[in-house]
Structures are given as structure tokens and as C-alpha cells.
Amino acid sequence: MNTAPTTTETTAPVELDLDARLALVGALMDERLAHANIAFEVDTAHLPAADPIPAVVAPPTITPTVAPCPYRTPVAAALHHARVRLEAAGWCTGHLRDEQGAACAIGAIRAEAPSRAAADDACAVLLEAIRRDFAQVDTIPSWNDAQRSPRLVLLYLDRAAELAHSRNH
């Protein structure tokens, strides 16, 4: 029997240099990205196109307006306007008014009252409203200077305005 000699040649794997490997991986990645892009287009085809984002603009400036006076009588109106003045311009102690425009209770009443007589009547009503809760108070300036914040001053101006309104002053 004649048998032919068989030669089995095994070829060694070809080693690629770095540039060849990068080119091969780049081609594979391009193919994957193309498939992902197609899949994304198919998945989002039913969604309507998004509107462009509107430009952000600053909100309009709103200037607060003073509420109309709820009182028709001059003394009650003067007390209400004095309260509004203290809220807007500020409150102080030790002086009728300071350099920045803040005022004490009497300074605000005098600035807002239509006359000196109306200011005196408003101060009398305010002192009466204060003495209902603080019987030991001698004067409005001493009570005003004893306060640490305008909270009680504003509260008693409101109470005095209600008292004057109920008396039709």
C-alpha cells in the first residue's frame, strides 16, 4: 500500500500591530453606533418633535400699590395711614423721624394727619388703645421707645384705628 505522506502545516496566527487593531475596533464601533442610531430612530419615531426651548426672560417688575384706606373718618384714616407709613419708611425710637425717613408712632401720625387737631385726637385714641393692655404707660413716646420691634406699634395703630372708627372719629 502506497500512502502518500501527509504534511500538516499549521499557520501561526498573524499578529496585528497597534494601528491595525485600532482600525479594526474602530470599524466595529462604527457599525454598532450605526445600528444604535437606527434603533433610536425607530423607537422614537412616534414621538412628536420637541418644541424649542423658549427664551428665558425676566418677569415683569411689579410695584406694590397701597391698598385703599378702609376708614372714612379722619382720625381713623390718619392712624391707618400712619401704620402704612411705618411699614413703608421704617420705625425708629428716640426721635420723631430719623435721617433715613423712619418715624416713631407720633411722628408717623403727625406726618399723615390732615391737621394738628386730627393728629392730637389720633394720639389720644392711640394712647387709650395702648393703656387698655398696658395700664402703667404714661406717654406714647415712652411706650414707643420701650419696644424692641415695630410689631406692637403696628398692632396698636390698627387697634386705635378700629377704636376711632367705632366712635366715628
| pLDDT tens digits, one per residue of 27-64 | 999 999 999 989 888 887 766 665 666 777 888 888 77
Q: Does the structure show a pLDDT above 60 at 91?
A: yes
User: Looking at residue 15, what is its pLDDT?
Assistant: 85
Mean pLDDT of 93-101: 91
Q: What is the full DSSP assignment across the chain?
A: ---PPP----PPPPPP-HHHHHHHHHHHHHHHHHHHHHHHHHHTTTSPPPPPPPPP-PPPP----PPPPS--SHHHHHHHHHHHHHHHH-B-SSSSB-TTS-B-HHHHHHHH-SSHHHHHHHHHHHHHHHHHH-TT---HHHHHHH-SSSHHHHHHHHHHHHHHHHTT-
Q: Does the structure show a pLDDT above 70 at 4?
A: no
| pLDDT tens digits, one per residue of 54-90 | 777 888 888 777 778 899 999 999 999 999 999 999 9
User: Looking at residue 58, what is its pLDDT?
Assistant: 82
pTM for this entry: 0.62
| pLDDT tens digits, one per residue of 130-165 | 999 999 999 999 999 999 999 999 999 999 999 999
User: Looking at residue 141, what is its pLDDT?
Assistant: 95
